[in-house]
Amino acid sequence: MERKKTIFEEVVIDPMAHIVSKTDKTGRIVYANEAFAGISGYTRAELEGKPHNIVRHPYMPKTIFKFMWSRLLKKQNFYAFVKNLTKDGKFYWVVTDFEVKCDDRGEIEFIYAYRKAAPKKGVEEVSKLYQKLVALEERYGMHEAEEFFLKYLKDNKMNYNEYVDYLLGNSSMFKSWFTSLKKIK
Ligand SMILES: Cc1cc2nc3c(=O)[nH]c(=O)nc-3n(C[C@H](O)[C@H](O)[C@H](O)COP(=O)(O)O)c2cc1C
């Protein structure tokens, strides 16, 4: 598989930016807003129609995406800290709130992702976990990484949502941001 170019340079995101995309149930992008295009370095036309892993950063654990898809396909909303890759190999951190939209028959029609710049403290904390997961995935495989992830949450006496709330610090502030973002789309 072709390894995408990465450079250790962070793209600073305007804290007011609302980065929105919408996919079908396979993760193919059907809508990208201007902010997403601007930050990722792609044009909207380059993003739309492509699988969302176009911005996948190799330092994001497979474990987190697997967990994410298992929740989304059960029509459960999800949120996560995500490190993304720009077209020219830089990175940016966002907090993403995923929202599943079903049609009249209850089938998944679209999945929305609303993103804001991630708080620095949360990024510092979650990076340690993600680095460990990526290392375990590479060295021992997915099973070991998933076991570690579940044990990590258990040892910290938190479920996943509680863990993300903890990373967000003032989660109520983010929750109200996400609620207002959902009205924009
Ligand atoms: C609505 C939506 C938004 C997504 N946004 C991102 C994203 O910003 N970055 C990312 O790496 N993956 C994102 N994904 C997950 C990708 O579809 C994919 O599962 C992930 O990049 C892992 O790719 P891989 O299986 O090729 O390793 C998103 C998925 C959905 C449904």
CA of 117 to the centre of ligand 1 (A): 17
**pLDDT value of residue 173:** 66
**pLDDT value of residue 73:** 97
Return averaged pLDDT per consecutive 10 residues of the chain, 185 residues in all. 81 94 98 98 98 98 98 95 98 97 97 96 97 98 98 96 91 65 58
Classify domain 19-184 at the CATH class level: alpha beta
CA of 36 to the centre of ligand 1 (A): 14
Number of helical H runs and strand E runs in the chain: 7, 5
From the list 123, 120, 146, 111, the residue with the least C-alpha distance to 57 is 123
Give the predicted TM-score (pTM) of the model.
Answer: 0.94
From the list 73, 49, 66, 59, the residue with the least C-alpha distance to 133 is 59
Pocket of ligand 1 (CB under 6 A): 21, 23, 27, 52-53, 55-56, 60, 65, 82, 84, 98, 111, 113
The answer to whether the beta carbons of residues 136 and 145 sit under 8 Å apart is yes
Taking the domains of the chain in order of start, what are their residue ranges?
19-184
